[in-house]
Chain A
């Protein structure tokens, strides 16, 4: 009679996707941050598409509706939404250019990918700030 196996195989580690609770502790690298913000900004632009079209409609229908648009954009909430839209477009576009370059196999090594993700923020955030100053009438 043979000996029974001396030790049972160790329990297989369970591999799960991270949950929402883990997100708080999860330190995302900068390229990851660019990526998830690309998705969030894209979804935001999609969700606010009817608002954009409504504003576009107001801007083109007549000179009276154009004035109405200007009046609508004076409210604080409207200005905040416009700034959010501006940031979303700026981030989505600059991160999108980075992804297109990565798809062409440009800058795919780790240091270069990290640098380019910093460049995305260096481009999108100051431009978004500039846009915010414009929307709130600081730039006149």
Chain B
């Protein structure tokens, strides 16, 4: 392709950051799933006390909140791609994109509130 390298064409690198972020957050989520599975395996009690004990330590709250933030970012990129692929009406797409961001932020706040109420 004959592209002038000195001039950044419009849209160059557009999407690369999202592409990378989606993969990094995916790895983080897989690691969190492993940590959670490990914590469940170590915790012997299969009742409320055991389940709540997993999320009581501050580091686990922070780790869980970070994992949920990673989930929100991951979901944002994925859902954004879905809207961009199938919703061609500009106004509707913009509305869905906006609602997705607001909704994910709401869910993040909700998750933090749940975690710190234990």
CB contacts under 8 Å to A, within B96-118, are 107, 110-111, 114-115, 117-118
In the complex, A100 Cα to B26 Cα: how many Å?
A: 9
Interface of B, secondary structure class, is helix
How many positions in chain B have a CB within 8 Å of any CB in the partner chain? 22
- Contact of A49 with B by CB under 8 A: yes
Cβ contact within 8 Å between B78 and A59: no
**A 50-70 binary contact with B (CB < 8 Å = 1; else 0):** 100100110111110011000
The 8 Å CB contact of A50, one of B23, B75, B78, B107, is B107
Known interface pairs A56-B114, A100-B27. Does A42 touch B78 (Cβ–Cβ under 8 Å)?
yes
In the complex, A89 Cα to B10 Cα: how many Å?
A: 37
- Contact of A85 with B by CB under 8 A: no
Cβ contact within 8 Å between A53 and B110: yes
Nearest CB in chain A: distance from B80 CB, A: 11
Nearest residue, chain B, Cβ from A47: B79
How many positions in chain A have a CB within 8 Å of any CB in the partner chain? 22
Interface core residue of A45, A49, A50, A59 (most chain B CB under 10 Å): A49
Nearest CB in chain B: distance from A62 CB, A: 8
Cβ contact within 8 Å between A60 and B51: yes
Which residues from A are CB-within-8-Å of B73?
A: none
Which residues from B are CB-within-8-Å of A100?
A: 23, 26-27
Which residues from A are CB-within-8-Å of B95?
A: none
Cβ contact within 8 Å between A103 and B23: yes
Known interface pairs A53-B110, A66-B48, A100-B27. Does A60 touch B78 (Cβ–Cβ under 8 Å)?
no
Cβ contact within 8 Å between A53 and B114: yes
**A 88-114 binary contact with B (CB < 8 Å = 1; else 0):** 000001001100100100000000000
Which residues from B are CB-within-8-Å of A125?
A: none
In the complex, A66 Cα to B52 Cα: how many Å?
A: 10
Binding site for B on A (CB under 8 A): 39, 42-43, 45-46, 49-50, 53, 56-57, 59-63, 66-67, 93, 96-97, 100, 103
6 contacts between A and B (CB under 8 A): A39-B82, A43-B82, A53-B110, A60-B114, A60-B118, A96-B26
